[in-house]
Amino acid sequence: MTDWSRDWNPSEEYLTDGVPSGVVAEVERPATELAALGPESVRVGRPTDREGGLREFDFLGDRGFIDFPPAPRHERVYVCYVCDITWYG
């Protein structure tokens, strides 16, 4: 377990406007798990050929994905900044 946390940026309200609450919960779950990984979160998701930068992670059985940048300097995974939530319904 790490001291990393997760955060919404921009706000949760902005990012989740019109997204069903169950989908929001499915975004929060991997975001919490990514924060628990701490510095290892720079290797999770796509792209697979390099570490760091903007990462992409599927959720809900490939029915959506989140983009997130792990921020080792801040010890935080920004749940949007997660940057974007794409849900195919």
Query: What would the pLDDT profile of 23-81 be if each residue is shown by its tens digit?
Result: 888 888 888 888 888 888 888 888 989 888 888 887 777 777 777 888 888 887 765 44
Count the domains in the chain.
1
pTM: 0.70
The residue that leads in pLDDT, 86 or 30, is 30
Nearest to 82 by CA among 18, 16, 17, 21: 16
What domain range is 47 assigned to? 5-87
Q: What is the spatial distance between Cα 54 and Cα 76, in angstroms, rounded to a whole number?
A: 13
**Cα separations in angstroms, 41 against 27, 50, 68, 89:** 15, 12, 10, 27
pLDDT of the residue at 86: 66
Please give the distance of CA 6 from its chain centroid, rounded to a whole number: 8
Q: How many CA atoms lie within 13 Å of 29's alpha carbon, on the beta-carbon side?
A: 10
Continuous H helices in the chain: 12-16, 21-37
